[in-house]
Amino acid sequence: MSKPPLVEVEDLTVRFKGARDVYAVNGVSFTLDEGEVLTILGESGSGKSVTLKTLLRLLPENRTDIGGKVRVGGEDVLAMQGRKLADHRGGTVSMIFQDPMLALDPVYTIGEQIAEAVIRHEKVSSKAAMARALEMLERVRIPSAARRLKAYPHEMSGGMRQRAMIALALACKPKLLLADEPTTALDATVQIQILLLLRELQQEFGMSVIFVTHDIGVAVEVSDRIAVMYAGAFVETGTTREIIREAKHPYTHGLLAANLVGAKPGQRLDAIPGAPPALETRPTSCAFAPRCKHAMDICRAKLPPIRRWHDRRWVSCVLAAEEHASA
């Protein structure tokens, strides 16, 4: 029997309660094997960050309703409490944030911040933890690492900070790395360096990665598989190759048309006319219909059917289902 997947997410829903409810994630399911890189690709507000944060349970507890199942390494993440949850965070799963300037504590040195995580998870002396921090800074190829250990975040450049953030995230050898648009805040040339570094470290550490981006060029660069997300749901999944060569969903086509011609990392998805829907209610029909040039009455009447080749290759669109039926 083959190994069970590292990550199993089943029908995940996330709703923010408030004066206005936000149905941020509406039935997301996927699995991820050890050593695999999955990219979640989608426009701003599609629920990518919320999906990632759920894997670490970082959403404000009292204002969110989370439904469905999330298992990492066989453990039920949604049921974790107290120390068990804290061991999961940073130990099994860790995260790189979009803007390292905001995600690092401004009044602690880089070394302190990395060492703190090591001490927390491995119960080593602070000297040993500092030594690990130094080792990690060297692994992410920060020049004069020993000196950077004592630097504060504001004393480093954006690229250096993101390297430090990666060092922090990998310091405890997590099984799963969550990368939330780790290059969006950086210059184009620095972006590529960071992407290369991430891919290299992923192979070296053999960890799984869920990578979030709205940049299809970046997605192609780093991932084995891609899931296209729209309005809180996946609309199409497949291998990177399948998504680029045989995309079925009109939204995916739109993303490709906007970006793949001369795809460069750093380009934004802006060529699809219209804006994503406000998620004040859970969609009951195809959420992309208002922007879809193939939209039919049936698209606006009910949720589109799913055409599934196999577990990891499917698309949720009337067109694909019809094509299948007529074939």
Ligand X SMILES: Nc1ncnc2c1ncn2[C@@H]1O[C@H](COP(=O)(O)OP(=O)(O)OP(=O)(O)O)[C@@H](O)[C@H]1O
Instruction: Give the CA distances from residue 291 to residues 41, 207, 276, 277, in Å, rounded to whole numbers and listed in that order.
Output: 18, 37, 8, 10
Beta bridge partners of 315: 236, 307
Kindly state whether residue 292 participates in binding ligand SF4, applying the rule CB under 6 A.
Answer: yes
252 and 238 Cβ atoms separated by less than 8 Å: no
Binding residue (CB under 6 A) for ligand X from 37, 39, 45, 109? 45
Kindly state whether residue 159 participates in binding ligand SF4, applying the rule CB under 6 A.
Answer: no
108 binding partner (options ligand SF4, another protein, ligand X, none; Cβ < 5 to 8 Å by kind): another protein
Q: What is the smallest separation between the CB atom of 214 and Mg ion, expressed in angstroms? A: 8
Angle among Cα 240, 243, 244 to the nearest 5 degrees reads: 85
Kindly state whether residue 116 participates in binding another protein, applying the rule CB under 8 A.
Answer: yes
Q: Burial letters for 79-115: b for 16+ Cβ neighbours within 10 Å, e otherwise?
A: ebeeeeeeebbbbbbbbbbbbbbebbeeeebbbbbbb
Task: Find the length of the chain.
Answer: 327
Q: How many residues bind ligand SF4 (CB under 6 A)?
A: 13
Give the three-class secondary structure for 38.
strand
Binding residue (CB under 6 A) for ligand SF4 from 225, 288, 307, 314? 288
Give the three-class secondary structure for 223.
coil
Q: What is the largest CA-CA distance in the chain?
A: 67
Kindly state whether residue 250 participates in binding ligand SF4, applying the rule CB under 6 A.
Answer: yes
Piece of 37-45, 73-81, 137-145, 165-173 that binds ligand X (CB under 6 A): 37-45
Q: What is the smallest separation between the CB atom of 112 and another protein, expressed in angstroms? A: 10
Q: What is the smallest separation between the CB atom of 207 and another protein, expressed in angstroms? A: 16
DSSP letters, 271-309, are -S-S-PPP-SS--SS-TTGGG-TT--HHHHHSPPPEEEE
35 and 6 Cβ atoms separated by less than 8 Å: no
Piece of 44-52, 72-80, 188-196, 233-241 that binds ligand X (CB under 6 A): 44-52
| Angle, in degrees to the nearest 10, between helices 110-122 and 158-170 | 10
Q: What is the smallest separation between the CB atom of 157 and ligand X, expressed in angstroms? A: 23
Binding residue (CB under 6 A) for ligand X from 22, 56, 151, 216? 22
Pick the closer one to ligand X by CB: 59 or 124: 59
288 binding partner (options ligand X, ligand SF4, Mg ion, none; Cβ < 5 to 8 Å by kind): ligand SF4
Pick the closer one to ligand X by CB: 45 or 174: 45
Pick the closer one to another protein by CB: 21 or 99: 99
Kindly state whether residue 231 participates in binding ligand SF4, applying the rule CB under 6 A.
Answer: no
Taken in order 80, 84, 88, 89, is the CA torsion positive or negative? positive
Piece of 1-9, 135-143, 237-245, 282-290 that binds ligand SF4 (CB under 6 A): 282-290
Give me the residues that bind ligand X (CB under 6 A), please.
Answer: 16, 22, 24, 42, 44-50, 60, 214, 279
